[in-house]
Amino acid sequence: MSIAIGDQVDFLFKKALGYPETNIVSALAAEKGYFSKPNIFTFQQMAQEFPQTRLSNSDFILTTSPTDITVSNVYRHKSYPYIVKYENLTLESAVSGSSNSFYSPYLKNLIPASITTDGFYSYIVKTNDLAFTITNDALYQYKQVIDPDSGVLFFFTYPSYSGASQVLTSQPPKVTFFRYEGLIGNVGIATLEEF
């Protein structure tokens, strides 16, 4: 990973105490109060199965987008309706005056890319105008992280592009990702709830 050791430690320390990293210069107490769970509780467990093999994009059907977000499209899987794909969700600045972190409550409960061996569930970060794919850029590929507990995307090395393709608080990045929207809880121990 190309993130400096000190930055990794800062991120993990804040995470362990229940905060996301939203600004590299902020002490823990100065971080914005997005909840970032350090422990897994029964009411936070994803209770439904995930296929271990790559899903076919043709098995996702277009569905109605939530009205409180700006997104290109939202797709739900036919056989696993709790697996939802969001295309080009526009984020908002996570901290006033800081342009290296962005937020959306829809970034919570991202499906980990590690569930399949080919990284099918990997997220894609693009500039606001969709001209550059930041997660594929050799300069910035491994220099950002999404905390799926708090919904914060944090840039350790801030992406900088020429012309109109800047990432700014006024031109936030867009993210394509897969999200779990199914039952939460441990079968037999807790009541299942719809997320």
Q: How many residues does the chain have?
A: 195
**Is the separation of the CB atoms in 88 and 140 below 8 Å?**
no
What is the end-to-end Cα distance of the chain in Å, rounded?
33
What pLDDT digit, counting tens, does each position of 155-173 carry?
A: 988 898 988 898 988 899 9
Q: What's the pLDDT score for residue 77?
A: 95
Q: What's the pLDDT score for residue 55?
A: 84
- Per residue in 93-104, is it b (16+ CB within 10 Å) or e — as a string? bbbeebbbbbbb
Please tell me the distance from the alpha carbon of residue 75 to that of residue 65, in angstroms, as a whole number.
9
For residue 124, the cross-strand partners are 176
Q: Beta strand pairing status for 124-126 and 174-180?
A: antiparallel
Q: What's the pLDDT score for residue 126?
A: 96
Q: What's the pLDDT score for residue 98?
A: 66
What pLDDT digit, counting tens, does each position of 29-42 carry?
A: 566 666 666 555 55
For residue 75, the cross-strand partners are 62, 85
> Tokens in use for 112?
């980990």
- Determine how many CB atoms are found less than 10 A away from the CB of residue 156: 20
Q: What's the pLDDT score for residue 36?
A: 63
**Is the separation of the CB atoms in 174 and 89 below 8 Å?**
yes
- Tens place of pLDDT for every residue, the chain, 195 residues? 578 888 888 787 777 666 677 776 666 556 666 666 655 555 557 778 777 777 888 899 999 999 999 999 999 999 999 999 999 999 999 987 667 899 999 998 888 887 777 788 889 999 999 999 999 998 998 889 898 888 999 998 889 898 889 898 889 999 999 999 988 776 555 454 554
Q: What's the pLDDT score for residue 149?
A: 84
Domain ranges, ordered by start, for the chain: 42-194
Task: Pick the closest to residue 158 from 101, 102, 91, 100 (CA basis).
Answer: 100
